[in-house]
């Protein structure tokens, strides 16, 4: 499988994220959440100027969106370089990297275009537990990280390196 297919997968994630946020912005009243599964899942419009879980949301600076966007660009560059140095036949790894890239780019586009990220998926268990509101890009990043961890555990080269006895340094 060529790497181009993985890049197309990242682009697909980016498009799904963009379209979902466009629909939310066009159709969802910010003051009126929509219950999808009563007591568990609703759509709620939220403008997140921070990062994951709303971290740094309260920090106010005209430079914040650009600094966070620059961090996203750096992350994408590192991921692409890592992908290029890893075998293309490691499908799970390449898929994980593509999914993360698509998610990072999805939030990057929001940050540049709006100055914040649109979050809208609100998971909760009645009034007992509420997970921070998230979006498709956040989900893709999380799924990509999970796939990366699975690949790390399953990859024979990583396992062989872990099984090798450590050198003591003396001969």
So which residues are the catalytic ones? 119, 138
Cβ burial 71-87 (10 Å sphere, 16+ → b, else e)? ebeebbeebbeebeeee
Cβ burial 127-161 (10 Å sphere, 16+ → b, else e)? eeeeeebbbbbbbbbebbeebbeebeeeeeeeeee
What's the distance, CA 149 to chain centroid? 14
Alpha helix (H) residue ranges in 28-154: 64-85, 91-114, 136-154
């Amino acid at each position: 499988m060529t790497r181009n297919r993985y890049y197309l997968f990242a682009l697909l994630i980016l498009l799904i994220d963009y379209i979902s946020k466009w629909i939310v912005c066009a159709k969802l009243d910010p003051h009126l959440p929509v219950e999808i599964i009563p007591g568990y899942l609703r759509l709620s419009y939220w403008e997140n100027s921070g990062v994951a879980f709303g971290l740094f949301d309260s920090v106010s600076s005209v430079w914040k969106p650009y600094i966070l966007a620059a961090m996203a660009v750096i992350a994408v560059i590192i991921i692409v370089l890592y992908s290029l140095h890893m075998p293309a036949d490691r499908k799970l790894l390449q898929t994980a990297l593509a999914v993360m890239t698509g998610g990072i780019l999805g939030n990057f586009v929001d940050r540049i275009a709006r100055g914040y990220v649109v979050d809208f998926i609100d998971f909760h268990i009645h009034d007992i537990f509420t997970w921070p509101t998230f979006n498709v890009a956040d989900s893709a990043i999380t799924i990509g990280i999970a796939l990366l961890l699975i690949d790390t555990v399953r990859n024979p080269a990583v396992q062989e390196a872990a099984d090798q006895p450590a050198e003591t340094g003396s001969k």
